[in-house]
Amino acid sequence: MVKTARVLGSALAVLASFAFNASAQSNWPEKPVRIMVPFAPGGQTDIIGRILAERYTQLWGKSVLVENRIGASGSIGTEVVAKSPPDGYFLQIAAINTHGANPALFGSKLPYDPVRDFTPIIWVNSSVNVLVVNPNSPFRNLRELLDYAKANPGKLTFGTAGSGSSMHLFMEVLKMMSGTDITHVPYKGSAPAGQDVMGNQITMVFDSMPGAWPFVQSGRFKALAVSSGKRAPNAPDVPTVAEAGVTGYDYVSWLGVVGPAGMPKELVAKINADTNRILQTPEVRDRFDKLGTLPVGGTPEEFGAYIRNQVATWHKVVKASGAKVE
């Protein structure tokens, strides 16, 4: 059955290529395009997906719609895209978990392969994460929080957008490197996790800068540390995790655009070129800057190599940290 499915998938790819070449590149898209965001609205993946959808709609003259399908650390929505026709009408915002950590976390239960089952199109952005607590939290800095966590194993809690999200992975590495025990509380998105920090139901989240920083600026979060090796340009007053004594801690999250395996090269080149143009516009760069994220861009080949590197990197991290699907 698996072999038959792969043969059919290859046949679909060939047919799609012929169809695309026959209709000519200039005719695509001839109908609305969907972008899968396999997480709840309000988080970094959704925010970036909607910025791109808005710009694609303007550029292509057809509606580009974001579709949110949540569950299983993004693998539910990701599987839908993997099994879609490779004609460019169903794309996805790939993330650090869907195309990096999920193979290590889910193993043979993962219903797709992030390399074999997808066409890499473009690396969109790179973001630091920021560890935030309730503004009335007694912890004035990360060092105080970690000292308390060591003295009180399991009492502090951290919320995430689900197992394998950057919010989860970065905390697991922090726990491992600091020798602390902090209880994981998975949610179906970063927004509901953040809401529970604001409501004092949980202690903290280690959210992406685009998802968390607006709430830091409005006073609904207190920022304790950023995940990168250097301080974030838009948050120069927030120290790094390493500055709190966790030497060597340096991690960033990322997003990109992918499609099903077998997309025609001409179509991939068009979407890649159009996205590179979008990422260079002053308006989009300004929006990214205000969100605290950096546009990346580049070629499909560069993004494909990065995905392969991320799968290998997070396999090692998951194994070393003991991170599990919850």
Predicted pLDDT at 26: 65
Measure the CA–CA gap between 56 and 274, rounded to whole angstroms. Answer: 8
Peptide bond into 120 cis (omega under 30): no
Please tell me the predicted confidence (pLDDT) of residue 25: 56
Q: Give me the CATH topology for the region 129-244.
A: D-Maltodextrin-Binding Protein; domain 2 (3.40.190)
User: Which tokens is 241 given?
Assistant: 């995790």
Residue 78, phi then psi, degrees to nearest 5: -65, -40
Pull the structure tokens for residue 47: 């925010």
- Say what the pLDDT of residue 4 is: 40
Which residues are CB-contacts of 10 (< 8 A; sequence separation ≥ 6)? 262
Domain ranges of the chain: 2-126+253-321, 129-244
Q: 2-126+253-321 architecture in CATH?
A: 3-Layer(aba) Sandwich (3.40)
Report pLDDT for 46. 95
From first to last of its 326 residues, the chain has per-residue pLDDT tens of 444 444 444 444 445 445 445 454 569 999 999 999 999 898 889 999 999 999 999 999 999 999 999 988 899 999 999 999 999 999 999 999 899 999 999 999 999 999 999 999 999 999 999 999 999 999 999 999 999 999 999 999 999 988 778 899 999 999 999 999 999 999 988 889 999 999 999 999 999 898 899 999 999 999 999 999 999 988 999 999 999 999 999 999 999 999 999 999 999 999 999 999 999 999 999 999 988 899 999 999 999 999 999 999 899 888 887 877 76
Question: Which parts of the chain are beta strand (E)?
Answer: 33-37, 64-68, 90-95, 118-127, 129-133, 157-160, 183-186, 204-208, 222-226, 253-260, 293-295
Euclidean distance between CA atoms 131 and 218, whole angstroms: 16
Q: How far apart are CA 218 and CA 213, in angstroms?
A: 9
Structure tokens given for 176: 């491992």
Give the span between the Cα atoms of 295 and 284, in whole angstroms: 9
Residues 6+ apart with CB under 8 A from 3: none
CB-based burial, 270-304: b 16+ in 10 Å, e otherwise:
bbbebbeebbeeeebeebbeebbbbbbbbbbeebb
* pLDDT score, position 224: 98
How far CA 56 is from CA of 35, 210, 287, 295, in Å, comes to: 11, 20, 16, 16
Asked, colleague to colleague, whether 2-126+253-321 and 129-244 share their fold, the answer is: yes
Report d(CA 181, CA 188) in Å as an integer: 22
